[in-house]
Structure 1
Amino acid sequence: EHLAYVIYTSGSTGKPKGAAIRHDALHSCMAWMQRVYGLGREDTVLHKAPFGFDVSCWELFWPLTAGARLVVANPGDHRDPERLVQLIQRHQITTLNFVPAMLQAFLAHPGIEASTRLKHIICGGEAMPSETQKEALQRLSGATLQNLYGPTETTIHVTRWTCRDDGQALVPIGQPISDTQGHVLDAEMNLVPRGVAGELYLGGVSLARGYLNKPGLSAERFVADPFGSGGRLYRTGDLVRWNAEGQIEYLG
């Protein structure tokens, strides 16, 4: 239950706020990633996200907990597709992270097909355009493309979609990962039917303690769970819906 780290929100919805994440939440996330993706000694993870972003936590801790190799990029490498291609090929990277906009810039580089050791491309941080998904699946066909979602107030990511080119206009953010619950609710916190837009509420071990030194704001955003037994839900403010396949689609 002790504090593992504090990561500040971007401030896009007001002043930046420090989300306080516990050790058990971080452990749960790392254990889930290992169960799903199974890093081994033959794998190499590229750590390139700045420390101010929570995705840097899995880039750092996951390979160290799994006995995989960790390659630390130089500052600024995450913004330069050419340097990334060189790093991936030189160090035989198998697993790395992109925000979708940077993935699109990476895809524009002519040499990416030589990145034959790539196994897992994990994306998050913003909505994934369907065109980016399609091009990545075509040009990096040897790797799985994962679209993950998670606000700073949770532990790195809380939903997962394994990308496939099914022709749909929206790329889902998937379903909640283990030890996490997701509810799509209306303004009165009632469950909405499949296909109807509502606000995404999240629950489970992944939730932050709250905002550092901001008890009032914490109480406003981390609310009592009406569907559980004394737990909390985090109000994301994100508009989503369940699609026909039972996957969550991000609407804005």
Structure 2
Amino acid sequence: MIVEQKKYLIQPKVLNVHEWLDRKECVVVSGEKDENEFQPVQNTLEDIAYVIYTSGSTGMPKGVMITHKGAVNTIIDINSRCCISEKDAVLALSSLHFDLSVYDIFGILGSGGKVVIPEYSQIKDPEKWLKLMVEEEISVWNTVPAFMEMLVSYMYGKNIPGTEKLRIVLLSGDWIPVTLPKKIYMLFKNTKVFGLGGATEASIWSNIFSIPKEIPKFWISIPYGKPLSNQKYYVLDNHMNDCPDWVPGNLYIAGDGVAKGYINSKELTDRSFITRESNKETIYYTGDVARYWSDGNLEFIGRVDNQIKINGYRVELGEIECALLENDSITNACAMVVRNTIIAVITAKNNILQEDVLAVIKDKLPEYFMPKAIKVWESIPLTVNGKVDRKKIAEVLEKSELFEEKRDEPVVGAMEKAIAEVWKEVLGLKTLSRNDDFFEKGGDSLKAMAVVNELNNKQLSDTKISLVLLFSNSTPKMLAAALEKSKIQSENTDMEEGTI
């Protein structure tokens, strides 16, 4: 799907927030409308532009109220820095409930550019991404770092040169591996890589860092950078005093990007959006720990709480628990992360099957929120204070059959043996069972792409192996079976077509 808007709404380095809102023009995304029928809506800076939901510690998502001032301020800043114009096109890989998509749509369309939206089946397929990048002359990339890692891994594996049209790479939402920017620069000669950060509660992004082509060897992470225009960061101690340079503290965001709060939730708003007594300024508490370098750059250190991040998305385990408890048969639920695996422990009124529980919550949660396993217990352990004893639960799960070494069953057949050899090479293993899970043995999206490239080079089957196929068939036994099944189906189809 391709969305184009030829009319300029935001001219880089020209319009400010006030001027932008004074323009009474309409973005037509699809269809035709008589200009005489259009009645422009007069907005003010403080009006709510949209409400976007993020995870909540109570298990219920929080609706963040973003103003026109906040969203437009961020868009104008990025468009001005990157000289975004009607000549640009972005490949929109972010879901609409993830605020990177806000920039994809309004940032690019607002400057008259083009938004290219892949089919749903192509969202995790770097081969399809690259095809669209060439065909549609994509000039702007805006994703979490993991997606860019998948792309460059695929290109290096296939020895594919980068397109000269890509000139801006925006990476945010998760840690940026220090080795990634160099790979990007080597493939895409005309590009500039930026790291961005912030919070949903502060209008997409609040900081930016122009990543150099040569990363200093002593860096263990990419700096957060400096605040965007009309935005501020504070690193404060527990007494709300400014921390000196190099001293870690609690991270707060201030300025035009700060949201109005959470919709229909005054208590949560008052807890996170604070008025600082020293200057009466509204600041947002991010829950992050950071420190300032002496050059004014900000370094992100980590989270204060035990929130987890999956593919760049901030996830509260309570949100998974809330979805589980919507099932009337479940009386209590606790979601845990053990060995980077989401597991849910539940108690139920009657016998309940894991498949049934997963089927119910599948429609309530994104795919990457889904527990790998549901454990039904008679009761959930509590501490002496009556709180869920997560430490005890984790200890029990660690010893469960979920993490037992799988039976050392040797691979059988030419297909399984070929798959196992590739996996051992990529994962650095000496032995591998036909039941060993690729991801439990140390695999990740980057290594998965290397496996896919190598297996396709070996041409084990007429079926092209994709990341999706590997993710859903993550043992040698399962992947070989899937390829054999596909081969039989293909042969049957050929026979039917040849029948007179």
Fold match (TM-score > 0.5): yes
Residue deviations 1:173-225, cap 9 Å, x none? 10110110101111111111111111110001101110111101100100002
CA contact (8 A) 2:164 2:189 kept: no
Matched, 1:180 2:225: no
* 17, 31, 44: which one aligns with 2:76: 31
RMSD: 1.7
Q: Cα–Cα, structure 1 residues 17 and 89, in superposed 2: closer, same or farther, change >3 Å?
A: same
What does residue 160 of structure 1 align with?
208
For 2:224, what is the secondary structure of its paired residue?
A: coil
Alpha-carbon distance, 1:21 to partner: 0.5
What does residue 245 of structure 1 align with?
295
Alpha-carbon distance, 1:39 to partner: 1.2
How many Å separate the matches in 2 of 1:49 and 1:64? Answer: 16
What does residue 84 of structure 1 align with?
129
Superposition map of 1:187-226 within 5 A: 187-226=238-277
Give unpaired runs (5+ residues) of structure 2: 1-45, 303-500
Matched, 1:9 2:71: no
Residue deviations 1:113-162, cap 9 Å, x none? 33221000101011111122332233323211110002111100000001
Which structure has the highest strand share of the two? 1
The normalised TM-score by structure 2 is 0.48
Residue deviations 1:49-77, cap 9 Å, x none? 11101110110011221112222222243
How many Å separate the matches in 2 of 1:108 and 1:227? Answer: 49
Matched, 1:127 2:175: yes
Q: Cα–Cα, structure 1 residues 123 and 13, in superposed 2: closer, same or farther, change >3 Å?
A: farther
Counterpart residue type for residue 283 of structure 2: L
For 1:18, what is the secondary structure of its paired residue?
A: strand
CA contact (8 A) 1:48 1:74 kept: no
Matched, 1:42 2:92: no
* 133, 138, 163: which one aligns with 1:93: 138
Q: Cα–Cα, structure 1 residues 121 and 131, in superposed 2: closer, same or farther, change >3 Å?
A: same
How many Å separate the matches in 2 of 1:138 and 1:12? Answer: 42
Counterpart residue type for residue 129 of structure 1: P
Q: Cα–Cα, structure 1 residues 76 and 250, in superposed 2: closer, same or farther, change >3 Å?
A: farther
Give unpaired runs (5+ residues) of structure 1: none
How many Å separate the matches in 1 of 2:134 and 2:278? Answer: 49
Alpha-carbon distance, 1:12 to partner: 7.0
What does residue 96 of structure 2 align with?
51
Q: Cα–Cα, structure 1 residues 76 and 211, in superposed 2: closer, same or farther, change >3 Å?
A: farther
The normalised TM-score by structure 1 is 0.94
Q: Which moved more, 1:6-15 or 1:100-109?
A: 6-15
What does residue 145 of structure 1 align with?
193
For 1:92, what is the secondary structure of its paired residue?
A: coil
CA contact (8 A) 2:162 2:187 kept: no
Q: Which moved more, 1:189-198 or 1:137-146?
A: 137-146
Alpha-carbon distance, 1:231 to partner: 2.5
Q: Cα–Cα, structure 1 residues 207 and 42, in superposed 2: closer, same or farther, change >3 Å?
A: same
Which structure has the highest helix share of the two? 2
How many Å separate the matches in 2 of 1:102 and 1:83? Answer: 13
Counterpart residue type for residue 139 of structure 1: L
Query: Which has more radius of gyration?
Result: 2
Q: Cα–Cα, structure 1 residues 113 and 15, in superposed 2: closer, same or farther, change >3 Å?
A: farther
What does residue 66 of structure 1 align with?
111
Identical residues among aligned pairs (%): 30
CA contact (8 A) 1:71 1:91 kept: yes
Matched, 1:236 2:281: no
Q: Which moved more, 1:153-162 or 1:58-67?
A: 58-67
How many Å separate the matches in 2 of 1:12 and 1:212? Answer: 15
The one of the two structures with greater contact order (alpha-carbon pairs below 8 A, sep at least 6) is: 1
How many Å separate the matches in 1 of 2:149 and 2:138? Answer: 18
How many Å separate the matches in 2 of 1:112 and 1:93? Answer: 16
Q: Which moved more, 1:140-149 or 1:211-220?
A: 140-149
For 1:160, what is the secondary structure of its paired residue?
A: strand
CA contact (8 A) 1:34 1:62 kept: yes
Counterpart residue type for residue 7 of structure 1: I
For 2:176, what is the secondary structure of its paired residue?
A: coil
